[in-house]
Amino acid sequence: MEGGLTTLDWAQPWYEPWRGRGEAAWTEVSSGTAVCDALRAAGTAPVQFTPASSLPTGRAYEDHIRTTGECPTRDNLHDFFNGLCWIALPRTKARLNELQAAEIARDGIGGRRGPVRDAITVFDENGVLLQAPAALWDALLARDWRELFVTLRPLWSEARVLVVGHALLEKLAAPRKNLTGHVWAQPCPSVEPAQADAWLAAQLTPEALARKPFTPLPVLGIPGWCADNANFSFYDDSEVFRARTVAARGAAGA
């Protein structure tokens, strides 16, 4: 296993939606099974998980998936969670891949990726869906962290969060305070993966992505996600809980 990590705490709240599919598969990986083989046994997906060596030299990863239906998979935690996302969110992952491949076909793989590919990468790696009361949404979009996490703290009992970015899921294996997700800036009607998948896939258009419809969320600020945030001085760290800038306000209103 690349990176040497062999244990995951599946009891953590960010892994709870993934535990049913993921825990048994990760047990297999930890015992020496290749990630691609463990993923194939974990559930169906619109791609076939193959060893990383199946990606031809010089071929764009996204284009290879789109044209062959194969998802080259390394034996590491990053690709493990990417595979779980393909299994649990097949429409979303297929749509993101379709859009990536279309951008590559039009503009090529080199140079600037452009706003759509940039947005796809941000969300695919670090995306979060949020189902929450309107007051929490207002505070989140304003980046009013004290309002969001302290004043309105009781409302978090009514909120539901689904981490859909596979890089963020990987990083949460060793959680640290500054981990930040990018929340799709519309309330998701359900964060149950099957329902969230259908809803999110329908939102993914080039026009929407070009506007970068995300808002940052330092995920360990979520009540119940970190014991230290019970002490409200946790939110005084301005390097993590940053005020909204003029540019960000303008972008949100665009």
Q: Looking at the structure, do residues 68 and 180 belong to the same domain, yes or no?
A: no
Q: Using CA of residue 104, residue 201, residue 138, residue 223, what is the dihedral sign? A: negative
Residues 140, 93 within the same domain: no
Beta strand 160-163 with 127-131 is: antiparallel
Reported confidence tier of residue 7, pLDDT bands at 50, 70, 90: confident
End of a domain among 90, 113, 136? 113
| 179 in the same domain as 107 | no
Whether the per-residue pLDDT at 62 is higher than 80: the answer is yes
pLDDT at residue 250 tops 50 = no
Residue 109 shares a structural domain with residue 21: yes
Domain that holds residue 169: 122-253
Helix (H, G, I), strand (E, B) or coil at 129: strand
140 and 242 inside one domain? yes
**Predicted confidence (pLDDT) per residue in 65-119, tens digit:** 999 999 999 999 999 999 999 999 999 999 999 999 898 887 766 656 789 999 9
The predicted structure's pLDDT at residue 60: 86
Question: Based on the domain organization, do 64 and 100 belong to the same domain?
Answer: yes
Same structural domain, 101 and 143: no
d(CA 155, CA 153): 5
Residue 84 placed within a domain:
yes
The answer to whether residues 161 and 248 belong to one domain is yes
Domain count, the chain: 2
pLDDT digits (tens, 9 = 90+) for 8-24: 999 999 999 999 999 99
Q: Are residues 168 and 225 in the same domain?
A: yes
Render pLDDT for 121-141 as a digit per residue (tens, 0 to 9). Answer: 999 999 999 999 999 999 999
Q: Which of 14, 11, 12, 39 is nearest to 25 (CA)?
A: 39
Residue 9 lies in a domain: no
The verdict on residue 8 lying in a domain is: no
Same domain, 43 and 126: no
156 and 139 belong to one structural domain: yes
Q: Is the residue at 6 inside a domain?
A: no
Residue 1 lies in a domain: no
Q: Which among 91, 113, 135 is the end of a domain?
A: 113
Query: What are the pLDDT digits (tens) for 167-221?
Result: 999 999 999 999 999 999 999 999 999 999 999 999 999 999 999 999 999 999 9
48 and 136 share one domain: no
